[in-house]
Amino acid sequence: MASRPPSLTFFLVVLVAAALYMPQAFSTSRTPLMNHRSSKTPVRLGLKRVDEGGNFTRLELLQRAIKRGKNRLERLSAMVKKTSTTDQVIQTAVQPGEGDFLIHLDIGTPPVNFDAIMDTGSDLIWTQCKPCIDCYQQSTPILDPNTSSSFSKLSCSSKFCEALSTSLCADDGCEYLYAYGDSSSTQGVMATETLTFGGKTTFPNIAFGCGEDNEGDGFKQAQGLVGLGRGPLSLVSQLGYGKFAYCLGSIDSSSSSLVLGSSPSLDKTSDSVLATPLSQNPSQQTFYYISLEGITVGDTLLPISKTTFTIKEDGSGGMIVDSGTTLTYLEESGYKLVKKAFISGIKLPVSDIDAGLDLCFDMPNEADIEVPKLIFHFSGADLNLPTENYLMYDSSMGLLCLMMGPSSGLSVFGNVQQQNFLILHDLDKETMSFVPHQCD
Protein backbone atom coordinates (compact mmCIF):
# COMPACT_ATOMS: atom_id res chain seq x y z
CA MET A 1 0.00 0.00 0.00
CA ALA A 2 1.34 3.42 -0.94
CA SER A 3 1.54 6.15 1.67
CA ARG A 4 -0.71 9.17 1.44
CA PRO A 5 0.70 11.82 -0.90
CA PRO A 6 2.00 14.99 0.79
CA SER A 7 -0.59 17.62 1.64
CA LEU A 8 -1.43 20.62 -0.54
CA THR A 9 0.16 22.93 2.05
CA PHE A 10 3.41 20.98 1.93
CA PHE A 11 3.46 21.09 -1.85
CA LEU A 12 2.90 24.87 -1.83
CA VAL A 13 5.90 25.29 0.47
CA VAL A 14 7.97 23.25 -1.97
CA LEU A 15 6.60 25.34 -4.85
CA VAL A 16 7.50 28.63 -3.16
CA ALA A 17 11.04 27.40 -2.61
CA ALA A 18 11.30 26.23 -6.21
CA ALA A 19 10.05 29.54 -7.57
CA LEU A 20 12.38 31.59 -5.38
CA TYR A 21 15.55 29.54 -5.74
CA MET A 22 15.11 27.54 -8.94
CA PRO A 23 13.36 29.81 -11.45
CA GLN A 24 14.11 27.40 -14.30
CA ALA A 25 12.53 24.41 -12.57
CA PHE A 26 9.64 24.52 -15.00
CA SER A 27 10.87 23.51 -18.42
CA THR A 28 9.79 25.83 -21.21
CA SER A 29 11.38 23.71 -23.90
CA ARG A 30 9.01 22.68 -26.63
CA THR A 31 11.18 19.76 -27.78
CA PRO A 32 9.31 16.48 -27.20
CA LEU A 33 10.69 14.62 -24.20
CA MET A 34 9.89 11.32 -25.89
CA ASN A 35 9.40 11.21 -29.62
CA HIS A 36 7.02 8.65 -31.13
CA ARG A 37 7.06 10.33 -34.54
CA SER A 38 8.39 7.16 -36.15
CA SER A 39 4.77 6.01 -36.11
CA LYS A 40 3.47 8.01 -39.07
CA THR A 41 -0.04 6.58 -39.00
CA PRO A 42 -2.50 9.26 -37.89
CA VAL A 43 -4.91 8.47 -35.08
CA ARG A 44 -8.55 9.50 -35.38
CA LEU A 45 -10.68 9.60 -32.24
CA GLY A 46 -14.33 10.35 -31.66
CA LEU A 47 -15.15 13.03 -29.10
CA LYS A 48 -18.14 13.01 -26.78
CA ARG A 49 -19.73 16.06 -25.18
CA VAL A 50 -19.92 15.77 -21.42
CA ASP A 51 -23.70 16.41 -21.40
CA GLU A 52 -24.45 14.10 -24.32
CA GLY A 53 -27.52 11.93 -23.74
CA GLY A 54 -28.77 14.13 -20.90
CA ASN A 55 -32.09 15.05 -22.55
CA PHE A 56 -31.42 18.79 -22.38
CA THR A 57 -32.72 21.45 -24.75
CA ARG A 58 -30.19 23.36 -26.83
CA LEU A 59 -30.45 26.36 -24.52
CA GLU A 60 -30.05 24.16 -21.44
CA LEU A 61 -26.96 22.56 -22.97
CA LEU A 62 -25.54 26.01 -23.60
CA GLN A 63 -26.39 27.23 -20.08
CA ARG A 64 -24.71 24.22 -18.47
CA ALA A 65 -21.65 24.69 -20.65
CA ILE A 66 -21.52 28.41 -19.82
CA LYS A 67 -21.35 27.64 -16.10
CA ARG A 68 -18.40 25.36 -16.71
CA GLY A 69 -16.86 27.90 -19.05
CA LYS A 70 -17.01 30.78 -16.56
CA ASN A 71 -15.19 28.72 -13.95
CA ARG A 72 -12.67 27.69 -16.55
CA LEU A 73 -12.12 31.28 -17.69
CA GLU A 74 -11.25 32.26 -14.12
CA ARG A 75 -8.72 29.43 -13.92
CA LEU A 76 -7.18 30.20 -17.29
CA SER A 77 -6.87 33.87 -16.34
CA ALA A 78 -5.27 32.96 -13.01
CA MET A 79 -2.54 31.03 -14.79
CA VAL A 80 -1.22 34.18 -16.46
CA LYS A 81 -2.25 36.84 -13.96
CA LYS A 82 0.65 38.55 -12.24
CA THR A 83 0.14 40.50 -9.03
CA SER A 84 2.41 40.26 -6.00
CA THR A 85 5.37 37.87 -5.84
CA THR A 86 3.47 35.58 -3.47
CA ASP A 87 0.47 35.46 -5.78
CA GLN A 88 2.72 34.60 -8.71
CA VAL A 89 4.18 31.64 -6.87
CA ILE A 90 0.81 30.20 -5.90
CA GLN A 91 -0.69 30.75 -9.31
CA THR A 92 2.00 28.78 -11.11
CA ALA A 93 0.21 25.68 -9.80
CA VAL A 94 -3.16 26.63 -11.27
CA GLN A 95 -4.34 24.54 -14.21
CA PRO A 96 -7.73 24.46 -15.97
CA GLY A 97 -9.96 21.56 -15.04
CA GLU A 98 -13.44 21.36 -16.54
CA GLY A 99 -13.98 20.94 -20.26
CA ASP A 100 -16.73 20.18 -22.77
CA PHE A 101 -15.32 17.16 -24.64
CA LEU A 102 -14.25 13.66 -23.67
CA ILE A 103 -11.75 11.35 -25.39
CA HIS A 104 -12.21 7.59 -25.07
CA LEU A 105 -9.00 5.60 -24.77
CA ASP A 106 -7.49 2.73 -22.80
CA ILE A 107 -4.60 2.74 -20.36
CA GLY A 108 -2.41 -0.07 -19.03
CA THR A 109 -1.80 -3.75 -19.85
CA PRO A 110 -4.35 -5.30 -19.84
CA PRO A 111 -6.14 -2.12 -20.96
CA VAL A 112 -8.59 -0.27 -18.71
CA ASN A 113 -11.22 2.10 -20.17
CA PHE A 114 -10.34 5.75 -19.68
CA ASP A 115 -12.74 8.59 -20.62
CA ALA A 116 -10.66 11.75 -20.30
CA ILE A 117 -11.38 15.45 -20.61
CA MET A 118 -9.75 16.82 -23.77
CA ASP A 119 -7.90 19.94 -22.70
CA THR A 120 -5.89 22.18 -25.02
CA GLY A 121 -5.30 24.50 -22.04
CA SER A 122 -3.09 22.17 -19.98
CA ASP A 123 -0.33 19.61 -20.44
CA LEU A 124 -0.46 16.81 -17.89
CA ILE A 125 -2.14 13.48 -18.70
CA TRP A 126 -3.59 11.89 -15.56
CA THR A 127 -6.12 9.35 -14.35
CA GLN A 128 -7.29 8.03 -11.00
CA CYS A 129 -5.19 5.23 -9.55
CA LYS A 130 -5.34 2.68 -6.76
CA PRO A 131 -4.75 2.78 -3.86
CA CYS A 132 -7.20 5.69 -3.70
CA ILE A 133 -6.70 7.88 -0.67
CA ASP A 134 -9.43 10.18 -1.93
CA CYS A 135 -11.00 9.47 -5.34
CA TYR A 136 -14.34 10.48 -6.81
CA GLN A 137 -16.69 7.80 -8.09
CA GLN A 138 -16.23 6.76 -11.71
CA SER A 139 -18.19 4.39 -13.93
CA THR A 140 -15.21 2.30 -15.09
CA PRO A 141 -12.57 0.41 -13.05
CA ILE A 142 -9.86 2.57 -11.50
CA LEU A 143 -6.37 1.81 -12.80
CA ASP A 144 -4.50 -0.56 -10.50
CA PRO A 145 -0.75 -0.21 -11.16
CA ASN A 146 -0.10 -3.56 -9.48
CA THR A 147 -2.05 -5.40 -12.19
CA SER A 148 -0.58 -3.56 -15.21
CA SER A 149 2.58 -5.07 -16.69
CA SER A 150 3.41 -1.81 -18.53
CA PHE A 151 3.29 0.49 -15.47
CA SER A 152 6.61 2.00 -14.40
CA LYS A 153 7.25 4.77 -11.86
CA LEU A 154 9.40 7.71 -12.91
CA SER A 155 12.53 8.66 -11.01
CA CYS A 156 13.07 12.17 -9.71
CA SER A 157 15.88 12.64 -12.24
CA SER A 158 13.63 11.94 -15.25
CA LYS A 159 13.02 14.75 -17.71
CA PHE A 160 9.28 14.33 -17.22
CA CYS A 161 9.59 14.96 -13.50
CA GLU A 162 11.78 17.99 -14.13
CA ALA A 163 9.15 19.37 -16.52
CA LEU A 164 6.52 19.57 -13.77
CA SER A 165 5.81 22.93 -12.19
CA THR A 166 5.20 21.25 -8.81
CA SER A 167 6.92 18.00 -7.86
CA LEU A 168 8.46 16.30 -4.86
CA CYS A 169 11.15 13.64 -4.69
CA ALA A 170 9.99 10.74 -2.51
CA ASP A 171 11.65 7.44 -1.66
CA ASP A 172 9.78 5.61 -4.40
CA GLY A 173 10.11 8.25 -7.11
CA CYS A 174 8.59 11.46 -8.44
CA GLU A 175 5.36 12.78 -6.90
CA TYR A 176 3.27 15.58 -8.36
CA LEU A 177 0.50 18.04 -7.55
CA TYR A 178 -1.80 19.86 -9.96
CA ALA A 179 -4.04 22.37 -8.18
CA TYR A 180 -6.88 23.90 -10.18
CA GLY A 181 -7.46 27.25 -8.52
CA ASP A 182 -10.43 26.20 -6.38
CA SER A 183 -10.87 23.06 -4.25
CA SER A 184 -10.06 20.80 -7.21
CA SER A 185 -6.68 19.10 -7.38
CA THR A 186 -4.96 15.87 -8.33
CA GLN A 187 -1.84 14.47 -6.73
CA GLY A 188 -0.01 11.18 -6.84
CA VAL A 189 3.00 9.60 -8.51
CA MET A 190 4.46 10.20 -11.94
CA ALA A 191 4.82 7.09 -14.09
CA THR A 192 4.78 5.83 -17.65
CA GLU A 193 2.09 3.64 -19.17
CA THR A 194 0.80 2.29 -22.45
CA LEU A 195 -2.07 4.23 -24.04
CA THR A 196 -4.32 2.57 -26.62
CA PHE A 197 -6.52 4.53 -29.03
CA GLY A 198 -9.43 3.01 -30.90
CA GLY A 199 -8.66 -0.38 -29.40
CA LYS A 200 -5.70 -0.96 -31.73
CA THR A 201 -3.21 1.94 -31.94
CA THR A 202 -0.79 1.60 -29.02
CA PHE A 203 1.80 4.01 -27.65
CA PRO A 204 4.08 2.72 -24.86
CA ASN A 205 5.98 4.72 -22.25
CA ILE A 206 3.70 7.76 -22.10
CA ALA A 207 4.35 9.86 -18.99
CA PHE A 208 1.25 10.49 -16.89
CA GLY A 209 0.06 11.32 -13.40
CA CYS A 210 -1.23 8.35 -11.40
CA GLY A 211 -3.67 10.25 -9.19
CA GLU A 212 -4.21 8.78 -5.73
CA ASP A 213 -5.80 11.88 -4.19
CA ASN A 214 -8.24 13.70 -6.51
CA GLU A 215 -10.56 16.29 -5.03
CA GLY A 216 -13.21 18.70 -6.29
CA ASP A 217 -16.09 18.76 -8.74
CA GLY A 218 -14.19 19.69 -11.89
CA PHE A 219 -13.51 16.18 -13.18
CA LYS A 220 -16.46 13.99 -12.24
CA GLN A 221 -17.72 13.69 -15.81
CA ALA A 222 -14.53 11.76 -16.67
CA GLN A 223 -11.83 9.51 -15.25
CA GLY A 224 -9.07 12.05 -15.71
CA LEU A 225 -7.65 14.44 -18.27
CA VAL A 226 -5.52 14.44 -21.42
CA GLY A 227 -3.55 17.65 -21.88
CA LEU A 228 -3.04 18.77 -25.48
CA GLY A 229 -1.20 22.00 -24.69
CA ARG A 230 2.13 23.22 -26.03
CA GLY A 231 4.21 22.14 -23.03
CA PRO A 232 6.55 19.12 -22.96
CA LEU A 233 4.26 16.89 -20.84
CA SER A 234 1.26 17.06 -23.17
CA LEU A 235 0.15 14.14 -25.32
CA VAL A 236 0.93 15.93 -28.60
CA SER A 237 4.43 16.85 -27.40
CA GLN A 238 5.18 13.32 -26.21
CA LEU A 239 3.91 11.73 -29.43
CA GLY A 240 5.80 14.30 -31.50
CA TYR A 241 3.44 14.16 -34.47
CA GLY A 242 3.87 17.83 -35.35
CA LYS A 243 0.19 18.23 -36.26
CA PHE A 244 -3.18 17.65 -34.70
CA ALA A 245 -6.68 18.82 -35.49
CA TYR A 246 -10.17 18.64 -34.08
CA CYS A 247 -13.59 19.22 -35.57
CA LEU A 248 -16.39 20.16 -33.17
CA GLY A 249 -20.03 19.73 -34.07
CA SER A 250 -22.78 22.05 -32.85
CA ILE A 251 -23.67 22.03 -29.17
CA ASP A 252 -26.54 19.56 -29.61
CA SER A 253 -24.58 17.29 -31.96
CA SER A 254 -22.84 14.01 -31.17
CA SER A 255 -20.38 14.27 -34.07
CA SER A 256 -16.98 15.66 -33.09
CA SER A 257 -13.52 14.20 -33.64
CA LEU A 258 -9.80 14.57 -32.95
CA VAL A 259 -6.99 13.62 -35.34
CA LEU A 260 -3.44 13.20 -34.05
CA GLY A 261 -0.88 13.47 -36.82
CA SER A 262 -1.13 14.38 -40.48
CA SER A 263 -3.51 12.72 -42.91
CA PRO A 264 -4.43 13.11 -46.60
CA SER A 265 -7.79 14.64 -45.67
CA LEU A 266 -6.00 17.37 -43.71
CA ASP A 267 -3.33 17.97 -46.32
CA LYS A 268 -5.92 18.40 -49.12
CA THR A 269 -7.56 21.39 -47.41
CA SER A 270 -4.94 23.93 -48.47
CA ASP A 271 -7.30 25.81 -50.81
CA SER A 272 -9.74 26.70 -48.02
CA VAL A 273 -7.27 27.14 -45.17
CA LEU A 274 -7.28 30.35 -43.16
CA ALA A 275 -3.92 30.18 -41.40
CA THR A 276 -2.66 32.47 -38.64
CA PRO A 277 0.67 32.33 -36.77
CA LEU A 278 0.79 31.05 -33.22
CA SER A 279 2.04 33.68 -30.81
CA GLN A 280 4.40 33.18 -27.89
CA ASN A 281 3.77 34.29 -24.31
CA PRO A 282 6.96 33.87 -22.25
CA SER A 283 4.85 33.76 -19.09
CA GLN A 284 2.63 30.91 -20.28
CA GLN A 285 4.05 28.25 -22.57
CA THR A 286 1.00 25.96 -22.59
CA PHE A 287 -1.70 28.03 -24.30
CA TYR A 288 -2.31 28.43 -28.03
CA TYR A 289 -2.17 32.20 -28.50
CA ILE A 290 -3.15 33.87 -31.77
CA SER A 291 -3.18 37.56 -32.69
CA LEU A 292 -6.63 39.16 -32.94
CA GLU A 293 -6.17 42.45 -34.79
CA GLY A 294 -9.77 43.60 -35.15
CA ILE A 295 -13.47 42.72 -35.31
CA THR A 296 -16.09 43.61 -37.92
CA VAL A 297 -19.80 43.61 -37.06
CA GLY A 298 -22.05 44.12 -40.07
CA ASP A 299 -20.15 46.37 -42.45
CA THR A 300 -18.26 48.24 -39.74
CA LEU A 301 -14.74 47.57 -38.55
CA LEU A 302 -15.09 48.42 -34.88
CA PRO A 303 -12.83 51.15 -33.41
CA ILE A 304 -11.07 48.75 -31.04
CA SER A 305 -7.58 49.81 -29.98
CA LYS A 306 -4.85 47.71 -31.58
CA THR A 307 -3.42 46.97 -28.12
CA THR A 308 -6.70 45.57 -26.71
CA PHE A 309 -5.94 41.94 -27.52
CA THR A 310 -2.13 42.00 -27.41
CA ILE A 311 0.00 40.12 -24.87
CA LYS A 312 1.28 42.63 -22.32
CA GLU A 313 4.80 42.79 -20.89
CA ASP A 314 3.64 41.17 -17.64
CA GLY A 315 2.16 38.20 -19.57
CA SER A 316 -1.47 39.25 -19.21
CA GLY A 317 -3.86 39.87 -22.08
CA GLY A 318 -3.75 38.23 -25.49
CA MET A 319 -6.20 35.75 -27.00
CA ILE A 320 -6.04 31.97 -26.75
CA VAL A 321 -7.98 29.34 -28.70
CA ASP A 322 -9.40 26.85 -26.22
CA SER A 323 -11.43 23.69 -26.81
CA GLY A 324 -12.77 23.57 -23.25
CA THR A 325 -14.27 27.08 -22.96
CA THR A 326 -17.74 27.31 -24.47
CA LEU A 327 -18.25 30.98 -25.36
CA THR A 328 -15.82 33.49 -26.76
CA TYR A 329 -14.82 35.96 -24.05
CA LEU A 330 -13.39 39.30 -25.15
CA GLU A 331 -11.46 41.83 -23.10
CA GLU A 332 -14.15 44.10 -21.69
CA SER A 333 -13.45 47.27 -23.66
CA GLY A 334 -13.52 45.34 -26.92
CA TYR A 335 -16.62 43.38 -25.94
CA LYS A 336 -18.55 46.56 -25.13
CA LEU A 337 -18.07 47.78 -28.70
CA VAL A 338 -19.19 44.40 -30.09
CA LYS A 339 -22.27 44.42 -27.84
CA LYS A 340 -23.14 47.99 -28.84
CA ALA A 341 -22.82 47.09 -32.54
CA PHE A 342 -25.20 44.12 -32.19
CA ILE A 343 -27.76 46.17 -30.28
CA SER A 344 -27.63 48.72 -33.09
CA GLY A 345 -27.66 46.11 -35.87
CA ILE A 346 -30.45 43.81 -34.64
CA LYS A 347 -33.79 45.56 -34.76
CA LEU A 348 -35.28 43.82 -31.73
CA PRO A 349 -35.79 44.93 -28.12
CA VAL A 350 -33.09 43.89 -25.65
CA SER A 351 -34.55 41.32 -23.27
CA ASP A 352 -34.45 41.56 -19.48
CA ILE A 353 -34.88 37.76 -19.11
CA ASP A 354 -31.89 36.12 -17.43
CA ALA A 355 -30.91 33.30 -19.79
CA GLY A 356 -27.30 33.06 -18.61
CA LEU A 357 -25.96 35.14 -21.51
CA ASP A 358 -24.97 38.78 -21.41
CA LEU A 359 -27.04 39.95 -24.41
CA CYS A 360 -30.40 38.57 -25.55
CA PHE A 361 -33.21 40.02 -27.67
CA ASP A 362 -36.96 39.40 -27.37
CA MET A 363 -38.06 37.46 -30.42
CA PRO A 364 -41.46 35.85 -29.64
CA ASN A 365 -41.89 34.21 -33.04
CA GLU A 366 -39.10 32.85 -35.21
CA ALA A 367 -38.99 35.11 -38.20
CA ASP A 368 -36.66 36.17 -40.96
CA ILE A 369 -34.70 39.10 -39.59
CA GLU A 370 -31.50 40.61 -40.84
CA VAL A 371 -28.58 39.98 -38.50
CA PRO A 372 -25.10 41.49 -38.73
CA LYS A 373 -22.22 39.37 -39.94
CA LEU A 374 -19.31 38.83 -37.56
CA ILE A 375 -15.69 38.69 -38.74
CA PHE A 376 -12.64 38.10 -36.55
CA HIS A 377 -9.53 39.59 -38.13
CA PHE A 378 -6.64 37.39 -37.04
CA SER A 379 -3.12 37.98 -38.29
CA GLY A 380 -3.24 36.81 -41.92
CA ALA A 381 -6.75 35.31 -41.63
CA ASP A 382 -10.18 36.96 -41.71
CA LEU A 383 -12.61 34.47 -40.14
CA ASN A 384 -16.19 35.12 -41.28
CA LEU A 385 -18.31 33.17 -38.80
CA PRO A 386 -21.59 31.43 -39.72
CA THR A 387 -24.56 32.99 -37.93
CA GLU A 388 -25.17 29.86 -35.84
CA ASN A 389 -21.66 30.23 -34.40
CA TYR A 390 -22.53 33.46 -32.59
CA LEU A 391 -26.33 33.78 -32.38
CA MET A 392 -28.75 31.24 -30.87
CA TYR A 393 -32.56 31.31 -31.05
CA ASP A 394 -34.64 29.58 -28.37
CA SER A 395 -38.32 29.29 -29.27
CA SER A 396 -39.46 28.22 -25.78
CA MET A 397 -38.25 31.51 -24.27
CA GLY A 398 -38.61 33.63 -27.40
CA LEU A 399 -35.00 34.77 -27.22
CA LEU A 400 -32.24 35.47 -29.70
CA CYS A 401 -28.90 35.55 -27.82
CA LEU A 402 -25.34 36.54 -28.59
CA MET A 403 -23.01 33.70 -27.60
CA MET A 404 -20.18 35.88 -26.31
CA GLY A 405 -19.23 37.60 -23.08
CA PRO A 406 -16.77 40.01 -21.43
CA SER A 407 -13.53 39.13 -19.67
CA SER A 408 -10.85 40.96 -17.73
CA GLY A 409 -7.45 40.68 -19.38
CA LEU A 410 -7.25 37.31 -21.12
CA SER A 411 -9.51 36.79 -24.16
CA VAL A 412 -10.61 33.30 -25.22
CA PHE A 413 -11.90 32.10 -28.59
CA GLY A 414 -14.41 29.47 -27.43
CA ASN A 415 -15.65 26.22 -28.90
CA VAL A 416 -19.08 27.52 -29.97
CA GLN A 417 -17.31 29.87 -32.37
CA GLN A 418 -15.08 26.97 -33.51
CA GLN A 419 -17.94 24.60 -34.35
CA ASN A 420 -18.00 23.19 -37.88
CA PHE A 421 -14.44 24.30 -38.55
CA LEU A 422 -11.48 21.98 -38.72
CA ILE A 423 -9.05 23.56 -36.24
CA LEU A 424 -5.60 22.47 -37.44
CA HIS A 425 -2.59 22.97 -35.15
CA ASP A 426 0.65 22.79 -37.11
CA LEU A 427 3.30 22.73 -34.41
CA ASP A 428 6.17 22.48 -36.91
CA LYS A 429 5.12 25.60 -38.80
CA GLU A 430 3.82 27.32 -35.63
CA THR A 431 0.43 28.07 -37.22
CA MET A 432 -3.23 27.46 -36.52
CA SER A 433 -5.66 27.05 -39.40
CA PHE A 434 -9.44 27.28 -39.65
CA VAL A 435 -10.96 25.12 -42.38
CA PRO A 436 -14.76 25.27 -42.93
CA HIS A 437 -16.01 21.71 -42.47
CA GLN A 438 -19.38 20.18 -41.60
CA CYS A 439 -18.29 18.26 -38.51
CA ASP A 440 -21.87 17.02 -38.01
List 100, 106, 119, 394, catalytic entry: 119
Tell me the three state secondary structure of residue 333.
Answer: helix
For residue 182, which of 327, 326, 71 has the smallest C-alpha distance? 71
Tell me the three state secondary structure of residue 66.
Answer: helix
List 123, 322, 394, 426, catalytic entry: 322
Q: What domains are there in the chain, each with its CATH number? A: 8-32+41-260 (2.40.70.10), 264-436 (2.40.70.10)
For residue 107, which of 178, 211, 10, 22 has the smallest C-alpha distance? 211
pLDDT at residue 27 greater than cutoff 50: no
The pLDDT-based confidence of 429 (bands split at 50, 70, 90) is very high
What is the distance in angstroms between the CA of the first residue and the CA of the last residue of the chain?
47
Q: For residue range 334-386, what is the model confidence (pLDDT) as tens digits?
A: 999 999 999 999 999 999 999 999 999 999 776 678 899 999 999 999 999 99
**How far is the C-alpha of 385 from the C-alpha of 403, rounded, in Å?**
12
- Output 21 or 337, whichever has higher pLDDT: 337
119 counts as catalytic = yes
Tell me the three state secondary structure of residue 418.
Answer: helix
Q: For residue 62, how many other CB atoms are within 10 A of its CB?
A: 25
For residue 292, which of 327, 325, 335 has the smallest C-alpha distance? 335
299 counts as catalytic = no
* Cis amide linkage into residue 42, ω under 30° from 0: no
Q: For residue range 279-306, what is the model confidence (pLDDT) as tens digits?
A: 999 888 899 999 999 999 999 999 999 8
Least confident of 90-104, 195-209, 309-323, 341-355: 90-104
